[in-house]
Amino acid sequence: MGLIEAASVNEVAAHGLAARRGTFGLNVDRFAATPGGTAVLGPNGAGKTTLLLALQGLIASRGAIARPARCAAVFARPAVLRAGALSNVATIVRAACATTAHDAERRARRVLADVGLEAFARADARTLSTGQRQRLALARALAVEPEALFLDEPFANIDADGRPALRELVAGYVAASGCALVVATSFLADAAALCERCVVLHDGSVTVRCDVAQLAGCGDPYVGALLAEARLPA
């Protein structure tokens, strides 16, 4: 994996990206994400997670990748430390940002309140529900104050009436910090709320690359299914 020469501030970019996970192969000729946000859509097994992992340098890949120094990710199934929710966030902030214990805890308290987990600060993170864990994962990702944020199905297990507030939280952070944003999602609402651009993946390759606003006319059958679902009568 080579690095493209210092990219413009807070941009994630890749050229000729190829990665393997087991028998699955990903081949993406070009990819870019800015604070405007790029949504990654596609059916299960299309390569959304593999693309995010490769962009972060968390799996071996070929091709050129540029990303800011400080990145953070929310995984689809967040793994947590054997500790309280507050301690989970504070420990990671302290390690990732090389800050004092006091500052780490202050930041952890703030983000836990932001994601609505302040009542669970002392609760063992492993006992949290899937949705609460996802909130915790978002909290710790925002707490390290990244310059690029990689979200993999970040709101999949969040209750429907909780999602808009969390989308707003992410959008607010991105707007304030100028952080580059990549969102792999199965919800058009995530793409619409957070991203200007989007790519659609099928079998490890990008088949559609367009503005989110133009998705309706892209003709991709998977996107068609997403749109049809969104239009279901109440």
Partner 1 sequence: MLAIAGLSVAISTASTAIAALFAIPGALWIVHGRSRARALLHAVFTAGLGLPPVAVGLAVAFAFWRSGPFGAVDLLYTPGAMIIAQTIVVLPLIGTLGVVTLGGGDPTLAQQLAGLGVPRRTRLTLLAREVAPGLVAAVLAGFGRGIAEVGAAQMTGGNIEGQTRVLTTATMLSVGKGDFGEAFGYVAVLLGIMIVVAGVAMTLQRRWA
Q: Shortest approach of partner 1 to residue 27 CB, angstroms?
A: 22
Task: Tell me: does residue 33 bind partner 1 (CB under 8 A).
Answer: no
β-bridge pairing 2-3 and 61-66: parallel
Quick note: the x/- pattern for partner 1 over 89-108, rule CB under 8 A, is --xx--xxx-----------
Task: Tell me: does residue 122 bind partner 1 (CB under 8 A).
Answer: no
Q: Shortest approach of partner 1 to residue 83 CB, angstroms?
A: 9
Among 144, 174, 179, 188, indicate the residue that binds partner 1 (CB under 8 A). Answer: 144
Q: Shortest approach of partner 1 to residue 124 CB, angstroms?
A: 9
- Rounded CA-CA distance 50/20 in Å is 8
Return the number of the residue (7 or 189) whose C-beta is nearest partner 1: 7
Site stretch for partner 1 (CB under 8 A), options 30-38, 142-150, 168-176, 226-234? 142-150
- Rounded CA-CA distance 80/161 in Å is 24
Site stretch for partner 1 (CB under 8 A), options 26-34, 110-118, 143-151, 173-181? 143-151
Return the number of the residue (49 or 186) whose C-beta is nearest partner 1: 49
**Helix intervals (H) in the chain:** 48-56, 85-97, 101-114, 130-143, 163-177, 188-194, 221-230
Task: Tell me: does residue 150 bind partner 1 (CB under 8 A).
Answer: yes
Q: Shortest approach of partner 1 to residue 177 CB, angstroms?
A: 15
Segment 52-81, which members bind partner 1 (CB under 8 A)?
53, 56, 58, 70-73, 75, 77-81
Contact status, residue 152 vs residue 191, Cβ threshold 8 Å: no
Task: Tell me: does residue 47 bind partner 1 (CB under 8 A).
Answer: no
Q: For residue 213, how many other CB atoms are within 10 A of its CB? A: 11
Q: CA of 135: how far to CAs of 76, 101, 160, 204, in Å?
A: 11, 22, 13, 29
Residues in the chain: 234
Return the number of the residue (43 or 68) whose C-beta is nearest partner 1: 68
Sheet holding 197-202, edge to edge: 2-3, 61-66, 12-21, 24-33, 205-211, 197-202, 38-41, 180-184, 148-152, 71-74
Buried b (16+ CB within 10 A) or exposed e, 29-60: eebbbbbebbbbbbbeebbbbbbbbbbbeebe
Return the number of the residue (56 or 185) whose C-beta is nearest partner 1: 56
The strand pairing partners of 152, in sequence order, are 184
**Under the rule (CB under 8 A), what is the footprint of partner 1?**
53, 56, 58, 70-73, 75, 77-82, 91-92, 95-97, 140-141, 144, 146, 150
